[in-house]
Amino acid sequence: MTLFDFIQRLLGRQKPSGTMAKERLQLVLAHDRSDLNPELLEQMRREILEVVQRYVEIDIEEGDVSLETEDRVTALVANLPIKRARPLPALVAAAAAVGMAQPPDADASEELAPTDDPD
């Protein structure tokens, strides 16, 4: 350890490298074990938030979806603070979007056709 490192540590500005090694490993192994790279994880996070948001209003800023590992078991942990539930019509539309029910005035063939309508 250099004198500089030592002073940094005394001042509590730098963690010992062994501790950093452990933290970095835990992070990288959570991804290794799930076979998800950060890019895919980010995409999954966005899609999960999208789906949840159809049903409830969530605090996107506070929302968090991450992989956590303990004892070789990796879990997908989502922490999504709910502001309020969506009003009923919005829920019906959300259900329709996933194909559970048809909104009364929807034309099925039109919905299936690809469209470049910007909405």
Binding residues vs other proteins (CB under 8 A): 1, 5-6, 9-10, 16-19, 21-22, 24-26, 28-29, 32-33, 71-72
Smallest separation, CB 66 to other proteins (Å): 18
Determine which helix (DSSP H) or strand (DSSP E) holds 68, and give its type and residue range: strand 64-70
Smallest gap from Cβ 39 to other proteins, in A, equals: 19
- Supply 46's token pair: 């966005």
91 Cβ partners below 8 Å, 6+ apart? 54, 55, 85
Instruction: In angstroms, give the least distance from the CB of 5 to other proteins.
Output: 8
